[in-house]
Amino acid sequence: MKAAIGQMRDEHAFTERRACALMRVAVGTYRYRSRRSDAPLRSRLVALAREKPRFGYRRLHVLLERSGERVNHKRLHRVYREAGLMIRRKKRKHCVRVGRPLVERTAPNQEWALDFVHDAVECGRTIRVLTVVDAFTRECLALEVDTSFASRRVTRVLDQIVAERGVPQTIRCDNGPELTSRHFLAWAIELQIELVHIQPGKPTQNGRLESFNGRLREECLNVSWFQNLFDARQKIAAWRKEYNEERPHSSLGYRTPKEFAAQMETKSFYRDGVGQEASNAGPLPHTPIPAESEEGATEACRILNRTE
């Protein structure tokens, strides 16, 4: 407040009384100068800060109280700032991502989505579930359960899926350390897979997988009691089989993901013209049949009547 009054006097040439009246501050309050010296407290703070250079004013306040010196925390903070003892905190580096909206997929393996879901077993130990979903068929390709996941463990799971289904064109995931490590990036470059990292704090950019994680949470994790890690793996694997083969999916016309994938594979099979030669439903070769005259038809009827 005093600084504001001083600024008004300097910039607008106001008198002391007028500036105090505009700021609604008593002249005596503005003229007051404290006779209390903060030099002993400042020297004590500087000495403690040299001993503990990474301690902030709150911890230094605790150390002063332990030594028997009672100081108001607001006064301590003011002297702490005036002495230039503020700790410079390093700003956390956030990766810059360009948002890419969800694109409608028209074939399997065009895009896979990856994410992690957390839960706990009976003893309270945390477990993580790696979820992998195909964006087109909605098939759950993997539900890997463990207490922790390194990037090499993630790529090992993905290699098993690639061996069964082939290499995807795109993988959409978040910015977790497992999915941004050098090993994971090198693995994607080696297999020529495009990585789409969503923007931090915007899970809706991976909405298909977030919807799947919600079903996993509501239908399996929240209604199951896991005794240990092996029990969790068994129950989650059983739910994955039920999801792919028995559970109707609303976005697939209430078909199961396995049924939908099989129908799409059949359509693609005949659309590409593969297997028509081996199929009984294929068109027969064109053999022109000569037209039959009336005399030939009459003679055939006579022969038929004679045989009867």
Domain boundary among 66, 82, 98: 82
Does the pLDDT of residue 240 top 60, yes or no?
Answer: yes
Asked if residue 118 and residue 225 are part of one domain, the reply reads: yes
The answer to the question of residue 303 being in a domain is no
Instruction: Say yes or no: 119 and 169 in one domain.
Output: yes
Residue bearing tokens 């001993």: 51
DSSP state of 107: S
pLDDT of residue 290: 47
Q: Which domain holds residue 57?
A: 2-82
3-state secondary structure of 2: helix
Q: In the predicted model, is pLDDT for residue 91 greater than 50? A: yes
Q: Is 294 exposed, middle or buried (0-12, 13-18, 19+ CB in 10 A)?
A: exposed
Q: Are residues 130 and 195 in the same domain?
A: yes
Question: Is 164 part of any domain?
Answer: yes
Q: Which of 37-41, 198-202, 287-291 has the least mean pLDDT?
A: 287-291
Tell me the pLDDT of the chain averaged across its residues. 85
Q: How far is CA 64 from CA 50, 75, 126, in A?
A: 14, 13, 40
Nearest one of 223, 212, 185 to 116, comparing CA atoms: 212
Q: Is residue 272 part of a domain?
A: no
Judge whether residue 114 has pLDDT over 70: yes
Residue 295: the pLDDT is 55
Question: In terms of domains, do 236 and 150 share one?
Answer: yes
Here the CATH number for the domain that contains residue 195 is 3.30.420.10
- If DSSP states are collapsed to H, E and C, what string results for 8-49? HHHHHCCCHHHHHHHCCCCHHHHHCCCCCCCHHHHHHHHHHH
Quick one: which of 37, 34, 44, 52 has its CA closest to 80? 44
Q: Which of 126, 173, 119, 169 is nearest to 147 (CA)?
A: 126
Pair 47, 145 in one domain: no
Asked if the structure places residue 52 within a domain, the reply is yes
Same domain, 33 and 141: no
- Strand pairing of 170-173 and 194-197? parallel
* Residue at a domain's end among 238, 260, 282: 260
* Beta carbons of 167 and 141 less than 8 angstroms apart: no
Q: Which residue has the tokens 């977030």?
A: 210
Q: Six-digit token pair at 305? A: 């009547």
Q: Which amino acid is at 260?
A: F
The answer to whether residues 78 and 124 belong to one domain is no
Residue 11 binned pLDDT confidence (cut-offs 50, 70, 90)? confident
Lowest mean pLDDT of 162-176, 187-201, 273-287, name the range: 273-287
* Helical pair 73-82 and 57-66, crossing angle rounded to 10 deg: 120
End-to-end CA distance of the chain: 128
At 284, which helix (H) or strand (E)? none
**161 and 68 in one domain?**
no
Q: What percent of the chain has pLDDT over 90?
A: 57
- C-alpha to C-alpha distance for 81 and 131, rounded to whole angstroms: 49
Find out whether 221 and 238 touch, Cβ atoms under 8 Å. no
> What's the average model confidence in pLDDT over 121-142?
95
Q: Quick check: 139 and 109 in contact, CB under 8 A?
A: no
Give me the percent of the chain exceeding a pLDDT of 70: 85
List pLDDT tens digits, range 205-225: 999 999 999 999 999 999 999
Check whether residue 212 and residue 129 sit in a common domain: yes
Residue 196: strand, helix, or coil: strand
Could you give the CA distance from residue 303 to residue 308 in angstroms, rounded to a whole number?
Answer: 9
Structural domain count of the chain: 2
pLDDT of res. 30: 84
Mean pLDDT of 157-165: 95
**pLDDT grade, residue 276 (50/70/90)?**
very low
* pLDDT score of 301 more than 50: no
CA distance 203 to 210: 7
Residue 90, domain member (yes or no): no
CA distance 40 to 60: 15
Q: Is the pTM of this model over 0.95?
A: no
Q: How confident is the model at residue 193 (pLDDT cuts 50, 70, 90)?
A: very high
* 34 and 144, same domain (yes or no): no
Per-residue model confidence as pLDDT tens digits over 50-63: 998 888 899 999 99
